[in-house]
Amino acid sequence: MRFMVIVKASKDSEAGVMPSQALLTAMGKYNEELVNAGIMLAGDGLHPSAKGARVRFQGTDRTVTEGPFGSTHELIAGYWMWKVGSKQEAIEWLQRAPFENGEEVELRQVFESEDFGAEMTPELREQEERLRAQVAAGKS
């Protein structure tokens, strides 16, 4: 099963304050452990919301709002995608993360094709598998 690990933003991350060398070193070591264990599928830090935009969809209307966005506790500063055997395993790995300054990290399971039941027809399932293979191969 796959999980998205969502690192919440802070005042510092939204202000563009870069992590210390010590934190980058600790995070590099932690990421290496995740990769060596076959857990980590992807992971990155995100620029502050001031460099982002949101698009709201209402019927055929599209409204673009440029950042920054308020309420830092609702924003994302980074993420990992992990493949683990259980939610408990994901929690155990997350508890080892080198955070120590009150960071909040959210763990959310990613839907798999079979979670959609009969609505995911064989044709839709085939399309999803083909697209995943293309993404994995780096092709568009």
pLDDT digits 0-9 by tens, 83-100: 999 999 999 999 999 998
Cα–Cα distance measured from residue 94 to residue 8, given in angstroms and rounded to the nearest whole number = 14
CB 92 within 8 A of CB 10: no
127 and 82, same structural domain? no
38 and 58, same structural domain? yes
pLDDT tens-digit map of 45-71: 999 999 999 999 999 999 999 999 988
75 and 18, same structural domain? yes
Nearest residue to 82 (alpha-carbon basis) of 73, 68, 72, 92: 92
Query: What 3-state DSSP class applies to 90?
Result: helix
State the residue range of the domain holding 40: 2-109
99 and 116, same structural domain? no
139 and 101, same structural domain? no
| Tokens 């399971």, residue located | 109
What's the domain count of the chain? 2
Cα–Cα distance measured from residue 110 to residue 83, given in angstroms and rounded to the nearest whole number = 10
57 and 25, same structural domain? yes
126 and 104, same structural domain? no
pTM comes to: 0.88
